[in-house]
Amino acid sequence: MSEFTPDISDTLFIWSMLEKAKEGTNPYGENVAEVYVKHLLPHKLEASNPHDVWKLAGRNLHTVLNNFCTLNGVKANINGQEVGDWLDNFEIMHKCDVLIYKSQSEAIVKKVLSKLIISKVKQKPRSKNVRRR
């Protein structure tokens, strides 16, 4: 382990949140995992520049997500962007939300369907005595 590697228990915690998101059972948001920067950094990290620390968190998250996605045959999305090399320079200051999905089209379909279902549930049934124009 290097001085830049997060603690194994923190990495396993993130992995378990990603597993729950993959299964659609994450308590935070079904297929969304909430990842905090503290779980992406070693416990005893000394750095003079906070931007370097936040970028290290981004690189560590990139490594974890690449391995998770490869092993599980899924994709991940952070803030509307599919995980890629851009994450190596991404500064995670507090937390980020990670969407796990099987394919982009499936994620879009699920989102649209869930919005439709919610809107149907919120609509009040029309009274039979009301005239339509």
Render pLDDT for 19-53 as a digit per residue (tens, 0 to 9): 999 999 999 989 999 999 888 888 777 767 788 88
Q: How far apart are CA 96 and CA 83, in angstroms?
A: 12
Q: What is the pLDDT of residue 48?
A: 72
Q: What is the pLDDT of residue 90?
A: 86
- pLDDT: which is higher, 44 or 105: 44
Alpha helices in the chain (DSSP H): 8-23, 50-72, 104-122
CB 83 within 8 A of CB 65: yes
Mean of all residue pLDDT scores within the chain: 81
Q: What is the pLDDT of residue 108?
A: 61
> What percent of the chain is predicted at pLDDT more than 70?
73
pTM: predicted TM-score of the whole model, two decimal places: 0.72
Q: How far apart are CA 6 and CA 21, in angstroms?
A: 21
Q: Check the CA dihedral 72-103-21-45 and report its sign.
A: positive
